[in-house]
Amino acid sequence: MDSSALELDAVKFAKSAVLNDQKGKYNEAVFYYKEAAQALIYAGMAGSKLENIQDKISEYLDRVEALHTAVQAQSIDPLKSKHQLDLERAYFLVTQAFDDDEKGNVEEAIELYTQAVELCIETANETSDQTLQLKLKQLARQALDRAEGLKDALAKPAAKDRPASAKPSNPVRTFQPLGPDFSLQDKPQPVRPVQSCEPQGQKYTYEEIEVLRKTSKINGIEYVPFMSVDLKERFAFPMPFSDKCGKLALSPKQKAIFSRWVRPDEISNNPIMIFTVSSFSIKQTVVSDCSFVASLAISAAYERRYNKKLITSIIYPQNKKGQPEYNPCGKYMVKLHINGVPRKVIIDDYLPVDHNGELLCSYSSNKNELWVSLIEKAYMKVMGGYDFPGSNSYSVGFEVITVSTVGEPGPSGFQKKSSGDYRCGFCYMEVDFVPAGVYNIIPTTFLPNQEGPFFLDFNSTTPLRVSQLQ
């Protein structure tokens, strides 16, 4: 990406940051300040000639630090009640029924509409909130009308059974499908064609199929290759979904401080799948999966920089635009490339927390965002649980990286005590301590004689304290 495009991104993010800052939306402001700083860093690496670019980066990061205190002082919004969550699931049931309705999956649509009606009636009888009762009854009435309309359509004779001399009558479906906003005036939308993951003209041989079959069972669970039929996976249920494989095994560090398993709606009043994909938002906790989290951070940075959907294309359910969405029913499907082919991994949304309600898995620093935790959970499920040995098998101990801010950056501007090649573009500094793990370098530029403190971003997951040499 050229520097001018990155400069425009920085301006856009900075405007959003200031706007949210002024409105008191500090979490959103923090995110956009970070994104503005990142865009300017990349712009500088791409040859930007903007004056005082480093001053702007420092200004944005300073504001981020200042806002953290304000965020902690903000009052926490109350969590949604059980009946409000039931209403959300009912809405999702109707949304999924509407999708099946559009695609001609009549029987599936009728079942989902019917389940939504039953859930609405049951919840309306339980709650004393009149506003909530009104919403539930209205949704139930609309879903019931849709289900009855589909049943009537099924009962009518098919066109092929009519006499040849008969004139074509009006279409069987004389009503309009119920839209995402549940308005009876919505028009049907075109359905995107389902693409098979198998390349055109290519077929697996018998031997290849046998290999795929034998490599599908991992840690006692079968992970079958991802097929086009998997795009029809059902995600809507009257009751929250629970993985039939049970909870993931915890690591010893997790067990030492573990309190309970929670769903996102138990710790967030407005869970979302993706606010935006950013490597800056990924935070690692006590799970020893540095290599995986580093790869996730690099994938996120790549998607943001080159608009290649490495993250957003693998999480389901998705809306009509192909964007992953939060599922109040708690079921997700993640497409991972395992043993040679893409495979589907089904998970629920249970996540481990400690006694303070803090997550014991990787998470996003963007409030309410779930994609980091759920992709990690899918991978950890394949690996047999959160007690993941992969990262620790690469290195033991830590390495010291020595650099300083004296003088102009040179060809060996980034030096490491042990052997290893790194990209140029770094001025000299000293990193006091680098924890054990596998690190992917995200290039970051430091200017000569720059004031500290500094943030050296290896994989956007490990905070490092950097001191300036005199």
Structure tokens at 184: 């009876």
Among the listed residues 410, 251, 273, the one whose alpha carbon sits nearest the alpha carbon of residue 333: 273
Query: How far, in Å, CA of 351 to CA of 77, rounded?
Result: 20
Query: How far, in Å, CA of 225 to CA of 235, rounded?
Result: 19
* Residue in this structure with the two tokens 């500290």, named with its chain if needed: 452
Whether 290 is a known active-site residue: answer yes
Structure tokens at 341: 């082919």
Q: Which long-range contacts (CB under 8 A, 24 or more apart) does 108-111 make?
A: 108/234, 109/146, 109/147, 109/150, 110/147, 110/150, 110/151
Q: Kind and range of the H or E element at 166?
A: none
Structure tokens at 94: 């109707």
Kindly report the three-state secondary structure assignment for every residue of 242-270. CCCCCCCCCCHHHHHHEEEEECHHHCCCC
Written as one string, the DSSP assignment of 373-431 is HHHHHHHHHHTTSS---TGGGT--S---EE--SSS---TT-SEESSS----S-----EE
Per annotation, catalytic residue among 120, 245, 290, 427: 290
Query: How far, in Å, CA of 64 to CA of 71, rounded?
Result: 10
* Under 8 Å between Cβ of 273 and 315: yes
- Those residues whose C-beta lies under 8 Å from the C-beta of residue 412, and which sit 6 or more positions away, are 424
**CA 198, chain centre distance (Å):** 25
Structure tokens at 290: 């540095």
**DSSP state at residue 464:** -
Among the listed residues 236, 267, 234, 257, the one whose alpha carbon sits nearest the alpha carbon of residue 369: 267
Among the listed residues 409, 377, 402, 264, the one whose alpha carbon sits nearest the alpha carbon of residue 325: 264
Triad 372, 347, 140: Cα angle to 5°: 105
* Under 8 Å between Cβ of 371 and 273: yes
| Active site residue ranges | 290
